[in-house]
Every structure is written in structure tokens, then in C-alpha cells.
Structure 1
Amino acid sequence: MSTRGMGRRCRPGLAAVLVAVSLLVGCFGPSASQFVASGQARLAAGDLPAAAIEFRNALQKDASLAEARFLLGSTLLRQGDAAAAFAELDRADRQGFDADQLVPLMARALSQQGRYDMLLTRFATTTLRDPLAMAALQVSLGRAYLATRQTEPAAAAIEQALSAAPGNLEALQLQARLMASRGDLAPAIERLQALIAQHPQADSTWLTLADLQLAAGQTQAARQSYASAIQLNPAGTQAYLSLLPLQLAAGDLAAAETTLAALEKVDAKAPLTSYYKAWLKLERGQLAQAQELGEGLLKRSPENADLLLLVGAIESRKGALDRAADLLGKAVAAAPDALRPRMLLAQTQLRLGDADKSLRTLQPLLNREPAPAEALVLAAAAASRGGDAAKAEQLLMRAVATDPQHLLARIALAVARIAKGQVDDGLKQLRELARTTPQLAPDATLIDQLLRQRRFDAALQAIQAVEAKPDGKLVGELLRGRLELARNNRAQAREAFDAVLKADATNTQAATALASLDLADQRPEAARARLQRLLDQDPANSSARSALLSLEIDRGASGDELIAMARQAVKLAPTSRELRLDLIRMLLAKPDARGAAQVAQESAGLLGEDPELLAAQGQAQLLAGEANLASKSFARLQALKPGLPQVHLWLADAYREAGDGARALQALKAGLQRLPDEPALYRAEALLLSGQGQPDQALEVAQQLKARDKTGWQGLLLEGDLLAQQRRDGDALRAYTAALATNPSTLLAVRVHQTMLRAGKAEDASAFERKRLAEQPRDFGFVSHLADTALRAGRFDAAEARFRQALALQPQNPVPLNNLAWLMVRQGKSAVALDFAERAVKLAPRQPDFLDTLAEVRASLMQYDAAVQAQQQALVLAPENHLHRLHLAKYLLQAGKKAEAKAELTRLARLGDRFDLQAEVQRMLATL
């Protein structure tokens, strides 16, 4: 059976001195309401920066003024600062501001930040009273679904929006985007053009049209559409922000400067204005100014994909390729669908000499239809650099359809002539292109065609021409290796690839080509040794490292073996932060907390007080029982990252584990002084007080949270949890019920239902269950809770029905599948159980609990060998799970493999008191 974790902790409070200062300041100057009125007047005049200042002034006078916070958030959103806007709107939400006004803007702010998972999690089931507000919310949900490629839910959200507000322009625009995502780009553009004819003054439709024109490769048309949007709404920022990157990409720096100047008149202080100013400085070659702007922005938003791209581009231009690759890799991880980060990362990887990694980076772009021309061009260059001219040809043929004037499109045309039988003419064109351009792609295509024609001498001459070009020497040797392979000269091919490695010992293409030759010669150990040598020469080579790890995983290497490989990599690259973190994570997974703590401490000593390393060090020390050392690590981390709530929680946990409850409380109170609106800190303080036998003081903390949280539900939740701990179920139920009335979440519904059952109110619990399911029939979490409740009570039929209901809500969720398998086998329905178990493992093949269930089901069907295989896989993934090892011994016995079973049981017996089921171990040993 799978298990579920405990709920997360909570947080914050307000220092009395701050209250006093706030009251004192409020005695002088305009009142908060006057500031709000002034801000609204400035808002009406279109002066967004001044309006934001007035709303901030109002909040300085009265921080509890939800309307001012809402107005500030909405103004920041209009200014393009979605992150700051959401923070203010979220505070307004906690202060109880009207959801119909608030939720659509919160959803829009999350959408603009690309935080789609949070948007869907928080608002997918939200219902608003006002139809227009509901339509706006559904539009944002539709955008989120579309961005996460959930087209059917996106279509449903759009339909709901149009049902709530027929003719809603944003919904109609989103509908066009949905059409485009389904491949109907031309009809989508036509629909938008028709909308413009009906509503010619709607700048947002021009913006949407420009976006789709850009997706269709109609860059010039897109620029014109963005310009039209600016003409219609010169005070809006989005069109400027969309037009600027096109102008920069086209190298039209004069136009970009004009657009930037106009944007600065609208909002000079906006982060995005500084962002594009930095890009323009970069394109002008003013690297110092660009870096100053970029680093300043990145410090404020260190995980922002656009800023990671900007600073990565600056580092790349400076030649700091390793840092550039690191920053750009983070940008791609944060925005995997974005074109520019992926393109620049691939370019940087290519400059670092890793063509294979560059191609893997580009693959998601190449999977698009149509693929961006620039991505195809870059992929072709990477393929050519790696000596794979055939792949380069395929990419170039796709590029010609996107941009007929592109150099590589011309190459593709020459190839097409060759394919038509006009061989000499096509080869002549390729030679001319190769002669007149310094790029390597024409040469690679020419050589590929010559190899296809088996004109090996001419191919050799072309390779010599490649070697004479800048950066052509290694590519020429790689192509020479291909030539010799085509001639079936394996020895000469090896010589060519070896020559590449002599010049560039870290060249992955040459090393993997030689490894392929080793594998073809039935020498897998030689291939493994070759990859290992590559790692010995370049331990940070992630491609070779991944290839070798894949070999070892396929071989069934144990966790100890993989840890040994990671240790070797760290030894060879002692300053690699990433390799050290990998090793720490592997050790923690083993689990070997002491080993992880030692590596973390060594890493921090060598690399300095890196926040991620300090966090890993503290966690490892805490798990290893070294709470005093952990508290020191977390204290240093707190000095580096005082604004992270988790840091204060970790520090308090370390003090608590060390037996110093007073310092744990002190750490939490210090956290509350810095972060007075963080519920997890309140919760941690209250639970700590409760654990120290101070229930009344704990309830006082809950009251403090209730006073800070105007919505009331978070404080009520904490109050209910504390009362439940004290077995005051009636009072706890009242608190949970009041919280649920404000926030109808799954968490609170489960709390209410659990408390009713614990209080012996079975009829009330049943009535609540029926009411909740009638109101929220698709609440997966509540249905799963009902299933678990029935299972714990031994009501297998009811549990099965609820698990099946949960599965119907989320057919691709492996948890209900696994639970149904476990349940079915106990009801003697093993054939049905097998189907559920296999589906669960297929969806989550590396989940040991699911493999354990599958093994049990197979054993119940007397498929003992298959049961042993599944259980062994579970142990590979979780080697320290002693219960899984006991199950393996049982299945080995059933399979007649007594010697192997005895070995597993003997290993368990050595654990002694560390394994609770020693009686069962001894019973099984006695049967042997």
C-alpha cells in the first residue's frame, strides 16, 4: 500500500513595536482613505506609477485596508509586474476582499508569470457569482490549460467563459489560440482578422493576431500588428514588450531604441523596461552596462526564466561559457517551451564542443510543426559539427519551407536537385555555397552527398576544405571517420576518431562513435571503459556521465555502485557544485545521512557558503542525529536567506532535535518578526508549544494568526488542529466548520469529516459526506480520503467503490490503481488485481511500493518467478526497505529457491532489533 505524508506546517505574527509605530505614523498627514482616493484619480488619468505610490502610502497608514491592497495589486498588474501584483492580491485575499473582483486578477497574475500549475491548483474549481468575473477567471484557466497542453480542459474553460459572457473578446482570442495549438493556424489568423473587422479598436486582438502571425513565421506582419496595437493603446506596455524582441532579433537596433524610448515614457521604472534596456546594451556591445542591469534584475528574481536568459546571454557574449550554460539550463528548466533560452543554451553547448547535448536541447523545438527555422538551422549545425550530415540534411529540408531565403534553405534546394537526378548541377551549387561562406553546413551537406554518390576521393577533398575553415579541423576529422566507415575501413575510422580525441579529449561525439565501434565488435566492457575514460578526463561531461550511468542502471547496478561512481566524479572534479549535490542526494536516498553530512560539510568548506549546499548539509546533519551541527548550518543559511520561511523552520527543528525547546521557540519568533504574514511559522510555534505541554499558549498563537488573517480560515485550521490534539472534538469541529465556510478546500473538508467520525457522530459524517460530494463531485482528495477511511474500517466493498470513483476522476493517477490492486488481492480477486497493479507500475515504474504490490499480486496467482522479479526491482529502488526484503524471501521460498531465500532471511536476522518482524524471520528460517 502507498502511504500519505503528514500535512505541512504553518507560520507568522506582528511585533508590538511595529503596531505602535504604525499607529503613530497614522496620526499625521493625509488619511489612508484620502491616499486611496488620490490613487484612484491618478489611475483614472492613466498615471499608473503615481497611482501605485498613493496606494502604497495608504497601506503605510493602514495595512489592513484590503481595498488599497487590491488597487495596488491591480495597478502593478497593469504595469506588467505580475509577481509583485500577485503578492499584493494574495494579501488582499487573506484580508477578505471580494473574490469576484480579486480572483480574476490573481489568476491573470499567475498566468502572466507562467505559474500555471499553481493557477490550476488554486482556482480550477473556483466558482464566482458575477458572470463577467467568472468569464475572466475561465479565460485565465483556459490559458493555463493551453500552456500545459491540456487542450480539452482549455476548450471547456473557453466554453464556460463564453457561456458566462457571450462575445467576450478575450475568450474569443483564446479560442483562436486554441485553434492554432491544434494545427489550424491559418484559420485562427483569419478568425482574428474577422474579429478586428468587428472590433477595430481592440488592441488586445491585434496583440493576439501578432502572436499567431509570429508563430506562423510571419515576422514582418507580426511587427506591423504589434505597431497597430501600440497606436491604439500607447499607454499599454505589452505591445512594446512584444515588439522589442522582434526588433532586437532582426538587428534593427535603431527601431528598438525608438520603441524603448516610447516605453520609458510609459513606465521607465518597470522591471521589463530595464530588461529590454539591458538587451539593447548587450546588442550594442556595452557588456558592463548590460551586466549591471541584468545582475540587478536577477538578484530580485533569481528563478525568472527571462532574466536567467538575459544574464546567460551576457555571460555567453563575455566568453564565460560554463556559467552561461548553467544559467541558460536553469532558464530552460523554468520555461521549457520558450524558444530563445533553448536556442541560446544549444548554441552555448555547441561552443563548448558538445554537439550531442546541443541536439538534445533543441529536440523539443524540432518536434514542433512547423519547427522554427532558426532551431532547424542550429540543429543542422550541431548535426554537422557531430559529423551526422544525414541528420543535417533532414533539418535543412524542413528549414526551406519556413524561410526560402535562408542559406541552409538554399543548401536544401541543391540537395533536392541531386535527389531529382541533377547530381552534377546540385553538387556544383553546394561547392559554390561551401566556397562562398565560412559556415560548415554547406560543406557537411556536400560531403554527405558525395558519400551517397560513393565519390570518396571528392569527399576527401571536401573534407580537406572543411579542415581549412575556422573550427573545421575537428569536424573534418569526424567526417573523415564517417568516410572511412563508409569505405568499410574500420581501422582508419578509429584513427580519425582517435585524432579528434587527441585534439579534444572531451569530445563526446568522437568518444561515443568509438564506443559504438566497440559495441559493434561485441566489446561492451570496452565501450564502458571508453566512456569512463572520457569522464576521467572531463568529470563534468554530463552526456558521457549520463551514458555511463545508463549502462550501469541497465546492468542493474546497486545504489552502492552508483554512489561509488558519483564519488569518483566528485574526486575528479572537486569544485563541481552540481556533482557534489548529486552525491549528497544519492547518499540521502540510500539512506546514509552521516555520509551525506560529511560530503556536504566538505563541499561547504571547499566551495564556500552556497545556500543549496548549506541546506543539504543541515538536512543531512539533522537526519544523522547531529542536531547541534545542523543548527549551526541552518543559522549560517538563515544569514544568507533570511526571507525564506523554510530556513527558520529548519533552524527551529534543529534546536528542537537538540533538546533546546527555548531556542527553537526563539528561532520561530525571530522568523515571525521578519515574516509576520507566514502561516507556517505560526503553526510551528503553536505545535511546539503544544508539544511542550503548553496548550493554552499554543491556542494563543492560533488567535494571533486569526487576528492577522482576515479570511479567518488559516487561524481556524490551526485552532482546530490544536483542539483536536486536546481531544476537544466538539470545539475542533466548530473551528473546522467555520474555516470550511470560508475556504471549501479538500483539506478542511477532510478535517471536518475525520472529526465527526472521531467524535462518534457517524450520522453527521454520512450527511456531510453526501453534501460534500453533491457540491464537489470531482474532489479527488476527498473521495480518496473516504476510500482510505473505509479501508481502515475494514469495509472493503465501500473502499473499492470509493477507489474506483477516485480512479474515474483521475484515470492516469497510479495511487488509486495501486490501492485497488492491494484491495482486490485481499478479496481473492487476483486476476483483477493484476490489471490494476500492472497499470500502476506502467505509470510509475520507479515506485517501489507499487512494485511491491505487483509482486504480491503475482505471487497470489502462483506466478512466483514474476513475483520475485518485481520484488527484486522494488529492492533495487529501495534497498533499505526491510519489509520488501522479507517479501522477497517469501516469494523465493514459494519459487523453490531456498538458498536465495535463506541468504535474504539471514541478512534480515543480522538486523536484530532494528527490524520489528524478527519472529517471522526466525519462523521462515526454521522451515529451511
Structure 2
Amino acid sequence: MLASILTLLLSGCSEDSLKAGQESMQKQDYAAAVIHFKNAVQDQPNSVQARLALADALERVFDPIGAEQHLRKAIDRGGNPDELVPRIVVLMLERGELEAIIREFKQRRLDSPAADSILRALVSIAYASQKQLALAEAQIKDARSDTTAMRLAKAQLFMMNGKPDKALAELKDLPESDAASWWSLRAIARIYTALGDQASALKAIQRAHAAAPWHHGVIGEYGEALITSGKPEEAAPLLQKLRAQAPNYFWTHYLNAIVLSREGRTEESHAAALKVLAVSPDHLPAVLLAATAELQKGDLQMADSRLGKILQQHPDSLPALQLQAATQLRLGRVKEASNSIRHGLSMRPGDLRLLSLRADVELREGDLQKAAATLDALVAASPNDAHNLLRLSEIRLRLGQKNVATALLDKAMEAGQDNPAMRDQILAQALKRGDIARVRHLANHALQTRPQDPQSHLSQAAALAAQKDMAGAWRATLAALDLKPGFDAALRALAGMAREPQQHEELLARYARAIESRPQSPHTYLTYAALLAAAPKPPRDKVVQVLEQGLANLPAATPLRAALIEEQLRAGNPDAAMTTAQSGAANSNAPAEAVALLASTYDRLGKTELAAESYRNLVANHPQRADWRLKLAEMELAAGRKNDASTLLRGLIADRPFDSTAYIALANMTAADNLPEALTIARDLGERTPHKQAAMLLEGDVLARAGKNEEALKQFAAASKAGAEPAASLRAIAVLDKTAQRPAADEALSAALRKHPNHAEVLAYAAQRALGQGQPEKAVEWLGKVVAQNPRNPIALNELAWAQIQARHPQALENARKAAQLLPDDPTVLDTLGLALAQAGQHQSAITTLRTAVQLAPTKPSARLHLTEQLLAAGDRQEARAMLAQLNAGKLNAAQQAEHARLGQLLSK
């Protein structure tokens, strides 16, 4: 009796647990369902119902091994093998356990013809995945029923045997359901995708999702199909579901990469694609996304390396070949690009993208006839493609075929004059040819067909400017702005025409109206702020207000945030600058550039540990950014964490073996402690053909750092013979100076100046050496030659002004002002300007300028020392003392320490 009562009690507990688990399943609380069903199994270990319920729940929490175990135990306890064996094989197949499937199930037979057919199909798929096609076909021949899974297996074999038409025929009129339908339908969707039938692929994966809405892989593939089919809004809820349920899942990262790429968030898309590749390095779509991002950002060598590797796995991938050809062309490797294009066209002779690239290659090679023939083919394929008509017109003109070129331009105009972007390209080409009548026609057509489009009025302005009617162009541009006050292209055009004071006032008024309209271009706010800041007496409060308005309207615009931080620092308000930087990075979905801005602001304000932590987060989430990894390595080294810096640099070398930067940093860092290893790093770099000379120079640098001066000189001599000039000679001169061999150094520098009399690097080196030797007049002479070559180079102007200050030249102030006009927020330039003003007797302006330099770079000592001196000269000992107290003498170089001590003595009197 007691045993019977206990059995009844346990049975009741089991039923309660099953019921609770079923309720949790309905709520999609699968974790809770697992707990309830485990209790049910514990209460009733021989219950097939409890085992199957637990297997279902374990599948939904992505524990396929646990699910399989309970399915097997359910069979052992009387469960139906016809229903359960195919489910077990599907779970094994998803885990890639192909050999285990074949070993256990190749001779297993099920009673139901349909179930056995599914099993035969699954074993066939396992064989086919191992390229054992004959054995895969044998499994199909034994099938007793034509199920979805069987037709999938047949279609897969047809695909692998190069018979896509038969594969497509096999997938017609599929049955709606069977025991493995969701998995079969997902696989069928993949075959349709490979066949290029996106509509059928979407239908199949949609059915798979309806059958298994809990399956993260199916959700991901359904989301991808929706996006590819132009239905991103339907994919959005699926992505949100994946982000919530499986934030670190393969498909979550992949869909993130696609969506972010479409939103133009290249950096974040790139990072998401790399997370996919960390799990599956050969995932072709993710490789294409990553390479596309790299191509957009100009990281051409990385894109080329990535595409080269994936094409070894997928040599016939047309998208990869298209990207590789475009990358090779931008790298200047025309012959390689031509080979990639040829291979792609051998597979798809009429591919428009490859034909367009082939025309680019032929133009690079100077073969206008071939380029024209290729573009003829493109135009024949797309007769109304205005872009290709225009390109062909340009080439025919270069070939001297003026009439043909004009006829093609007529066709381009007919095809593209209603497209504002294309119309402007045609208009630009007509201007280039001096075809004013065509320019007028295009502008008039735009006004007649789209009178309320501001772009039409801007086209009219261009036409009037071409006819030298600048007053008319001004009016037409104003008309465009009347229609759209924040039209940035019109504002830029107006700025280019503003010459008179009255026009400049009108320009400022138009920008003020534009800001009131809340424009969506950060450039509008930035330009208006720059115009205000360029006034003789800049209204700094107004500049800040404009930038704050822009940031309130466009909070994700990092350039606006960076400009506001500059203004806040300039105003001596570092707390506000820090708040601005932190607010940009506070959102979990903040752009990577906003986090980088926070890191650089921390660093700028001397909060080095916070800066390092921010860079660590950036590097963890965006490993593709070599610049952030290098910056973090630099910070780790400065903080004495040499091993961490070494790990970062070695990781960069592994990821980017074609980039010399990490090699150089690592070798120089290692030289003092481990010369043999540093030399090995330099020689490893030398094994890469483009970097042989850089490696020879690096080896010399490493020897010099280690105090092996004679060996370093020999190495620089070898580098010089190899063609690494003038860099090798300048390095040798530095070693001669360091070893007190001044006559030899003088002679070597004279030889370098004779050989490279106009080389900016040689002249600048000679100038800096002269300054170090107390010969500012010579430095002025050489830097004057550098500036003469490039009068708008702010760095050269600043260096010349600095030398002129040392030589007490009156022109120092003029050149310092020119440099400051070009780089108004550079603290080094403002430091020079401050000293030039002081030397010219403008002491109050000098103090103001030096204070701005200090505020823009609070941790840099040079401007702070100079400001201390000027404050002391002005009699403001209190502020001078406070200014000097903020410097840590132990962190200054020898010259700065001496100046610090001198000023301290003066202040102590």
C-alpha cells in the first residue's frame, strides 16, 4: 500500500512538472521549461513523454547533445524510432558529426517508408558532405518514399555534379511537411540561394522559420533572406530577437554586419563581420563584408590579403573576384587586376561590374581603343546607362572622334538629365568641353521639369557662372537656399562666391537660417562655426552655441562633438569637454569613433589609465583598427607594461604581416633588452619585398639604440647602397653626432645637401641640427627653402617661425600667424605664435595665445613654461607660480628641467 501511494504521489509530481514545463514552453521561457521537465524526468525516469518534452526544451536552449541523449533514452524506453531517429541524425548533422552518422546509420532501417526515406536522405547528405558521391547516391537508390528530405538530398547531388537545372527540377512542388521539414526547408533555401532563385529561397526559409521559430540559425537565415530580398523592415524584429536571446551568436553578428553596413556604419559593420570570421574564418559572405569595409576605408592591403585567402577556398566566387580586381586596381597592380577580371569574365562573360573594371584597367594601360570597345559592350548591354555613355563619350573625344563623342554625350544627356546627380556630371563634362549651350540646356531643363528642386537652381547657378554672370549665379544660389535653407551644396557654392563684405554678411545670414532649419549635414554646422571663428574678433560663445545646436540635432556626429570639445578646451573648460566626450560614448550603441574621441580626450587631459582602458575596449570590439591597437601599445609601454605592449604588436604583425609599422615599433621596443630578437624582427620585415629598404633602416636603428654604433653605420651604408636615400645618410649623421664625430657628420650632411639640395627631409634635418648647435641663422636659411616649395604647409611655416624666433628675425610673427591660420587649434603652433608675439612686444596677446595653447594641451609642458615666463614678465607672479606648480619636473626632458629650475628660482626671489 505504501509503495502504491508513493507511486501515485510521484506520478502526480511528474504531471505537475510536465504541466508547468508546457506552460513555460508556451511563454517561450525555455530555460524554465528545462528545469520543470528535468524534474519530471527525475520523478518518472521511464516516461517517454517526459523525455521527449525535455529533448524539445533542450533543443530550444541550444543544448543539442543533451537533446540527443534524451531522444535516445526515449527510444530505449519504448519511443517510436521512426519519429525519433531522424531527429537524432539532424542534431548530429548540425554538429558536423558526419563520420558518426555514417558509421551508425548507413545500414539502419526504419519501419515507416517515409521515416526510412528521411534517414536515407540524411545519411546521403553526410556522405556527400565528405565528397563520397557514389555512396551518397547508393543511399538515395534504397529510398522507399519521396520525402522533402530525399528530394533535398537528390538536389544536393545534382548541384555537386554540376547539374543545376536538374537540382531545380527536383525541388519543384515540395510536400508541405514531414518529420525533418524545418531542417530540410532551411537546406533547400540554401540551394535556391546558390541557384540565384532568391524568391524561392525566401519562401523556403520562411516555411522553415514557421516550423521552428525558436531556432536561432533559422532566424538568422530568414533575416538574411529578407534583407537580401529588399525587406529590411521585416528582418528588424528578427535581429532584435537574436540580439536579446543570443547576443554573441554567429548569426547575430552576421546580421548586425549586414544591417550596419546598409546604415553606413562601416566601422561597426566591419567589427561585426570580424566576429563572424572569428567563429568561421571561411564564411564567404562575412569575408566580403569585411573586405568591402576595408576597401571603403582605404585599407587596401588588408582587403587584398583577405580576398586572396578566401579565393583559395572559393576560386569561382564572382563577388570576391570583383572586389579583388577593384582592390588590385587601387593598389596599382594592374596586371593582377586584369587576371582577376579575366577569370571572372570566363565564368560570366557579360558581368557589367567586371566589364566596367576591365575598362578601368585598359585606361590605366593607356589602351583607349580597348577601353572604348569594352565600354561599347557595356552600352550595348545597358543602352540607357548615362554613366557609361558619359565615360565612352570622354574616351571617344580623347581618340579625336569629336562627332561620335558629341553624339554619345547627347545620349547621356537624354538618359540622365532627369537624375540630378547624373545631370551634374554631364554638366561638369559639358563645362570642361566649353559647351555652354549644353550647359544652358541642362540648367533650363532642370528648372522647367523640377522648379521646386533646389538642385535645379544650383545647376542654373553653375550655368550662369560658366557664362561669367556671377551676379546671376549668386541670385540662383540664393533661390536654391530660399527653397531649402540647409542645402549644404548651395551654401558651399555661396561661400565660394562671397568676395565683398556685403556678400560675406549675406553668407553668414544664410548659414544662420540654415542652422534654424535643423540640417542633417554636420558639415553645415562645422562650416558656420569655422566662419564665425575666422572673424577678426571671433564670437566664441556663438561658435559654441552653433556646435551645441548641431550636436543636439545630430548626437551621433563625432566630428561635431570633437569640434565642440576643442572649443570647450580653448575656453579653459576641461570639465565641460570631458562631459561632452563622455556623453558621446555613454550609449551602448555609440559609434566607435565616439569612444575613440573619449579615449583621446582622456589622454589629452592626462587621465592616462582611463584612456588606456577606453582603448582596450575599442581594441577588443574593433580589432580591425590598427591605429587604435598601436596607440594602446604605446600607452602600455609608457605605463611600464612592456609585455602587454609586445603582445599587441605581435598580434598586429600576425594580422597585418604586410604592414611595417608594428615591426618597427616592436623592434625598437625590444632593442635595449634583447638585441638578437630585435634584429630578427627587422630581418623578418626584410623578407617582404616592398619593405626591404625599410627593414635595412630598421636594423640600423636597432643597432644604434643598442649602442652598436659602428655596426649601425655599416648597416646604414648598406641601406644607402640599396637605395634608401636620403634616410640612410641622415641616420648615419645622427650616429656620428652621437659619437662625437662632428667633422665626419658635417661632411656627410654637406654631401647630402649637395646630392639632395631641394629635398624637404634633408633641409628640415639640417635646420634642426643647426638649431641644436646654436646656429639659428642657418636653420632659417634651410627652412626658408622648405617653405618656398610649399608655402601653405603649416608645419614647415611653424618650424621656420620657431627658427626665426631663435634668430630674432622680425618675420617670425608673420610666418607664425600664417601657420596659426592654417592650424588654428594646434597647441604647438599657438605656442610658437605666442613667443613670436612676445618677441614683437605684444605681450598681452602673447599671454592670451599661450594660455589658449595650454588649455588645448594641458599636459604638454612647452607652452606652460613659456606662459609662466610671460606671466612673470608681466608681474603676475601668483598665476605664474600656479602655472609652474602644475608641471612635474621629473617628467620633463633635460632642457625643460633646466627651464623649470630657472623659472622656479626667479619666482622664489
TM-score, normalised to structure 1, is 0.44
Higher relative contact order (CA 8 A, sep 6+): 1
Larger radius of gyration: 2
